[in-house]
Structure formats: structure tokens, C-alpha cells
Amino acid sequence: MEASGIFDLTIIIRVISALLLGFAVGLEREMTNKYAGLRTNILVCLGACVFTIISIYGFPAITVTSVELGTRDTARVAAQVVTGIGFIGGGTVLRHGATVFGLTTAATLFMSAAIGMACGAGMYDLAIVATIVSIITLVSVRFFEKNVLTSSTKNFKRLKISLNCLNSNSNEIYDHIVDKFPNLKEISKKQNKSEENMTKIVVITDVTCRKPIQTLYKEFQKFEGIESVSVQEFCEG
């Protein structure tokens, strides 16, 4: 503490390490186009690091008048990081009907905060190992899900279907979708605000056919009253 130059250098190293490790975790999220990417993970990691540093060094045990303040609780501020990150993580969790998305993104932010706290406490070995393990988990589990699972789920895809149809045909199309797709996750039907005679139907469903997007386009071509159809792979966090 008395060698201010050494102390300042230590603080700088801790902050920079949090920045770099937060960048490493955020890069994986950014490359997979998730809600919380580079900037969010970097700032979460940096914020946790700074709060931990403040918690350790920001509250001296002795006042300027040399009056002892007693024992410090150096974990008081740092402990609130765990609570605070819950609010940020909760903002990335989305619910679509009975399905919840974004839990992995929220867990990643929670891990970024833990890495930042480790950097702030000077536990570089723990921070580096946690970062490496987190990235390996995010990448390898995704690979496992897509390539190693049983053949029955290998062609499994979650798709989002958006279509605009005439109001007079909307009930028929809606009922067909409910009957046709047993793995339906969500379906909504709303009148198009820009065109009063049109209805927009949005569907999220799991399919296992070989060429699901082409198959779905052909499926809806046989219906009258459909003005437009959009089918895309639905990515969850």
C-alpha cells in the first residue's frame, strides 16, 4: 500500500486481465450471435473486477485521524456483485409460451462476473482456468448436441415460421399448423396492423425432416390466401 507505484501497477494488471478474459468469453457469444456479446461480457467482467478491488482496498481500517475503525468486511461490496448480476442475467432470459430461452447467456454473464471478481482479487490462475473451461464448455457442448447425439435427433432443428395470410383463411391455416406439427413450441395469431385484411401467424416448432425449410415452403404453397412465408432456423441463448 505504501509503494503507490507498485500498487497502481497491480491494479492496472488486474483490470487489464479482466478486460482480456471478458473479451475471450464475449467473443464466443458474439460469434454465435447471442443477446449478450462482446461489450456486455467485457463490461460485466470489468465491473465485477472493479467492485472487488474497491471492496478490498477502498475502505481503510484506520481514519485520517489515526482512529482505528475495527475489523473490515472486505467481502461486503464484492458479495453484492453476485446479487447484482442476477438482475442483468434475468434481462437476457426470454419466455416464448412454455419455452424459455437465454438461460445459457445469463449463465455466461454470471461466469464473466465470477472471472472478473477473481481478477480483482488477484487470483489470475483461477480466472484463466475458469475462462478456458467456460469457452471449452460453450463450444464443445454445442458440437456435442449437433454431432454426437443419437440419429433420431441429429436432423432435429428448431424453426421459426412467419406468414401473412388473408383473415378469411387464417383459421384454416392456424388449425392445420396445430394438427400438423406435434412438436409445436409456440404459435400466435395477430391481425396485421398495417393491413386490416391480413393476419400474421408466427410459429416456433421442432422438426426432424431432412430438408425442413424446403419442406415447409412446399407445405404452405398449397394453401390459398397466404401472401408471404418466412422460415428460418431459431437460435436460442
Q: What is the pLDDT along the chain (237 residues), one digit of tens a residue?
A: 444 444 578 899 999 999 999 999 998 888 877 777 889 899 999 999 999 988 888 776 555 555 555 556 677 777 888 888 888 877 777 665 555 667 888 899 999 999 999 999 999 999 999 999 999 998 888 777 666 654 445 556 788 888 888 888 888 888 888 888 877 778 888 888 778 888 989 888 888 766 777 778 887 888 888 888 888 877 655
128 and 172 housed in the same domain: no
pTM confidence score = 0.58
Running DSSP on this structure, what letter comes out for residue 58?
A: S
83 and 110 housed in the same domain: yes
**Of 147, 179, 207, the domain-final residue:** 147
Residues of the domain holding 95:
4-147
Question: CB-based burial of residue 61 (10 Å sphere; 0-12 exposed, 13-18 middle, 19+ buried)?
Answer: exposed
30 and 64 housed in the same domain: yes
Of the candidates 12, 9, 37, 14, the one whose C-alpha atom is nearest the C-alpha of residue 25 is 37
Q: How many structural domains compose the chain?
A: 2
DSSP bridge partners of 184: 205
Helix (H, G, I), strand (E, B), or coil: what is residue 173? helix
What angle do the packed helices 4-31 and 103-120 form, to 10 degrees?
160
38 and 130 housed in the same domain: yes
**Of 127, 147, 167, the domain-final residue:** 147
